[in-house]
Amino acid sequence: MGDFMEERISFEQYRPGLMGEVVAWHGRYYSKHWNFGPEFEAIVGSGLAHFIPRKTNHGCRIFSAWQGKIFLGSITVDNDGNPDQPLAHIRWFIMADAARGKKIGGKLFSEALQFIRDTGYEGVYLTTFKGLEAAQHLYVSTGFQLTHEEEGESWGTKVTEQRYELRFS
């Protein structure tokens, strides 16, 4: 087999096993780099379980990147169960270690933003926490602005939670 970049990368929506990969990579990454525990993994799994039935509803989509059967990353666009919601919600953006720094995440992010624009949303928001510099650089470089910041434990661990928004008008 050739090296990583010689092998074809496919960009898809849902494929069997995607939910498990997203939960597993969130668990591994945030445990290793941020000391998040199993509660965080359960929060991600529960949220995804509630999202999956609406994954093809108007305004909802899950995007993923693969190299053959190897998961590279994923991002989700959600309407939080409200099809009239004016802002899309970007959720569960995660990249496998092998894909970091290879612009695959940027492509997934661009696809998600294009879907959001094409769907007719007024804009988009996402929640994250302070310290994820690479992701925050991507958000700011595409026009997102930090709109709220406070200490919180939404993800089962105390962090400085942040909300970023991008308005299209």
pLDDT per 10-residue tile (average), the chain, 169 residues: 62 92 96 92 95 93 94 96 95 94 92 96 96 90 96 84 94
The pLDDT value given to residue 90: 98
What angle is formed at CA 83 by the lines to CA 147 and CA 53, rounded to 5 degrees?
105
The pLDDT value given to residue 6: 54
- CB proximity list for 126: less than 8 A, separation 6 or greater: 89, 90, 91, 93, 139, 144, 163, 164
Q: Regarding the domain with residue range 4-125, which homologous superfamily does it belong to in the CATH classification?
A: Gcn5-related N-acetyltransferase (GNAT) (3.40.630.30)
pTM over 0.85? The answer is: yes
Residue with tokens 């569960």: 92
Q: Where are the domains of the chain?
A: 4-125
Q: How far is CA 125 from CA 117, 153, 155, in A?
A: 13, 19, 17
Residue with tokens 């941020």: 34
